């Protein structure tokens, strides 16, 4: 049993099957962010079960339905114009995936005699054109990610100029290389090649467990060299690139939570509450699509396993639609001009 997991999720480990399940996921080598998401989701469900006094191991579909209602109607942590209550659809899906996998474990271990109470979507290949998928427990919405406008980007950079050099470098690298927060926080000093301005992302530090090499800009290179001088005052040893400067964790590797908190502070000061650490990745990939990069090139740069994910950024950029509209308008324009030319032959 990992002591770190017990300290982070004491409530979860108070229920032995839950602690065993999360420990197995940890031992299987799942990404730290995935382990954390599973742990937080299951803790939330256990708290709900305590508040409504039902036994987790024998929960019914009625209990799960009540939990879904709870997720959909609790006050929104970050309200938006189109959602003032409830968790985001993606967050609800994430919570229910963890609960469903936990009940799979209980059934497989013989700790639960009933079926899994969390419904799955059912694929029926004989229905419709090319088959269809019946909805699962809740509908799944595929929304395009939010990205800042040019004016909002300028506001962010104005605020960023007042940040420490470490935060400025992490911000710039995250955009340049479309890095996830786990990838930026786990960078090692040996992962950066300043002579060629390249970053090597190790497989074990990526979501898809696939290594890749990505470039960064000359401006970010200047920030990197300036940060190295500051880092030497914290530690001269090789290892984690970004170190904490706080008194409590001085010289310790920066955590994803510290970085997320720093981004929230920057976003709040810029008046952009929807901006997160992942927005930098969304913006970079969208800009690459706007610049005309091929979908497979963007997928390789981003570390996507499937181009279906990459298509989101093609849609967000509007590149294909804009090109098609321009071509259509050109053809219509040429057709109208041809008709106008016919007027010259009329006496």
- First-to-last alpha carbon distance for the chain, in angstroms, is 95
User: Is residue 208 domain-shared with residue 101, that is, in the same domain?
Assistant: no
Least confident of 229-233, 279-283, 317-321: 317-321
User: Is residue 58 domain-shared with residue 171, that is, in the same domain?
Assistant: no
User: Is residue 274 domain-shared with residue 191, that is, in the same domain?
Assistant: yes
pLDDT at 248: 83
User: Is residue 248 domain-shared with residue 123, that is, in the same domain?
Assistant: no
48 pLDDT exceeds 90? yes
Q: What mean pLDDT is predicted for residues 147-174? A: 93
171 pLDDT exceeds 60? yes
Q: What mean pLDDT is predicted for residues 256-269? A: 93
User: Is residue 123 domain-shared with residue 192, that is, in the same domain?
Assistant: no
Rounded to the nearest 10 degrees, how much is the dihedral formed by the CA atoms of 216, 219, 222, 223? Answer: -80
pLDDT at 186: 92
Query: Given pLDDT bands bounded at 50, 70 and 90, which one contains residue 24?
Result: very high
pLDDT at 104: 93
Among residues 103, 133, 163, the one where a domain terminates is 133
| 330 within some domain | no
The answer, as to whether pTM is greater than 0.75, is no
pLDDT at 127: 47
| 138 within some domain | no
Percentage of the chain modeled with pLDDT above 90: 46
Q: What is the 3-state secondary structure (H, E, C) of 180-234?
A: CHHHHHCCEHHHEECCCCEEEECHHHCCCCCCEEEECCHHHHHHHHHHHHHHHHH
| 68 within some domain | yes
User: Is residue 38 domain-shared with residue 158, that is, in the same domain?
Assistant: no
Domains contained in the chain, number: 2
pLDDT at 92: 87
Query: Given pLDDT bands bounded at 50, 70 and 90, which one contains residue 128?
Result: very low
325 pLDDT exceeds 80? no
Would you say the C-alpha torsion 79, 84, 86, 88 has a positive or negative sign?
negative
| 148 within some domain | no
User: Is residue 99 domain-shared with residue 177, that is, in the same domain?
Assistant: no
CATH of the domain at 17: 1.10.150.130
User: Is residue 162 domain-shared with residue 22, that is, in the same domain?
Assistant: no
44 pLDDT exceeds 90? yes
Q: Which domain holds residue 218?
A: 153-319
33 pLDDT exceeds 90? no
Query: Given pLDDT bands bounded at 50, 70 and 90, which one contains residue 141?
Result: low
User: Is residue 184 domain-shared with residue 302, that is, in the same domain?
Assistant: yes
Q: What mean pLDDT is predicted for residues 53-68? A: 92
| 334 within some domain | no
Helix (H) / strand (E) element for 32: namely helix 32-51
Q: If you average pLDDT over every residue of the chain, what do you get?
A: 84
| 266 within some domain | yes
Least confident of 48-62, 146-160, 179-193, 309-323: 309-323
CATH of the domain at 263: 1.10.443.10
188-230: per-residue pLDDT in tens?
Answer: 999 999 999 999 999 888 887 788 999 999 999 999 999 999 9
Helix (H) / strand (E) element for 321: namely helix 319-341
72-81, 118-127, 305-314, 317-326, range with greatest mean pLDDT? 305-314
270-309: per-residue pLDDT in tens?
Answer: 999 989 999 999 889 888 888 888 888 888 888 888 877 7
> What is the Cα–Cα distance from 180 to 281, expressed in whole angstroms?
7
């Amino acid at each position: 049993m990992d002591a770190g997991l017990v300290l982070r999720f004491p409530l979860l480990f108070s229920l032995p099957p839950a602690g065993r399940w999360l420990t197995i996921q940890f031992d299987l080598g799942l990404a730290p962010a995935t382990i954390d998401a599973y742990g937080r989701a299951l803790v939330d469900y256990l708290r709900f079960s305590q508040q409504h006094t039902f036994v987790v191991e024998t929960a019914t579909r009625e209990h799960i339905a009540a939990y879904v209602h709870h997720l959909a109607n609790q006050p929104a942590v970050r309200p938006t114009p189109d959602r003032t209550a409830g968790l985001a659809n993606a967050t609800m899906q994430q919570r229910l995936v963890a609960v469903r996998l936990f009940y799979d474990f209980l059934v497989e271990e013989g700790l639960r005699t009933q079926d899994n109470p969390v419904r799955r979507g059912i694929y029926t290949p004989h229905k419709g054109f090319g088959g269809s998928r019946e909805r699962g427990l809740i509908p799944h919405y595929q929304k395009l990610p939010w990205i800042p406008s040019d004016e909002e980007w300028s506001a962010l950079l104005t605020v960023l100029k007042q940040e420490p050099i470490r935060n400025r470098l992490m911000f710039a690298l995250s955009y340049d290389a479309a890095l996830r927060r786990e990838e930026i926080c786990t960078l090692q000093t040996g992962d950066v090649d300043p002579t060629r301005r390249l970053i090597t992302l190790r497989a074990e530090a990526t979501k898809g467990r696939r290594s890749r090499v990505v470039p960064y800009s000359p401006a970010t290179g200047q920030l990197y060299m300036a940060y190295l001088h500051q880092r030497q005052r914290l530690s001269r040893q090789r290892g984690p690139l970004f170190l904490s400067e706080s008194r409590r964790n001085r010289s310790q590797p920066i955590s994803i939570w510290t970085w997320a908190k720093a981004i929230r502070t920057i976003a709040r000061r810029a008046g952009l509450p929807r901006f997160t650490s992942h927005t930098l990745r969304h913006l970079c990939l969208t800009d690459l699509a706007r610049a005309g990069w091929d979908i497979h090139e963007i997928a390789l740069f981003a570390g996507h396993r499937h181009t279906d994910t990459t298509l989101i950024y093609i849609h967000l950029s509007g590149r294909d639609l804009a090109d098609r509209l321009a071509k259509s308008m050109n053809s219509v324009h040429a057709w109208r001009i041809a008709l106008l030319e016919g007027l010259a032959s009329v006496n």
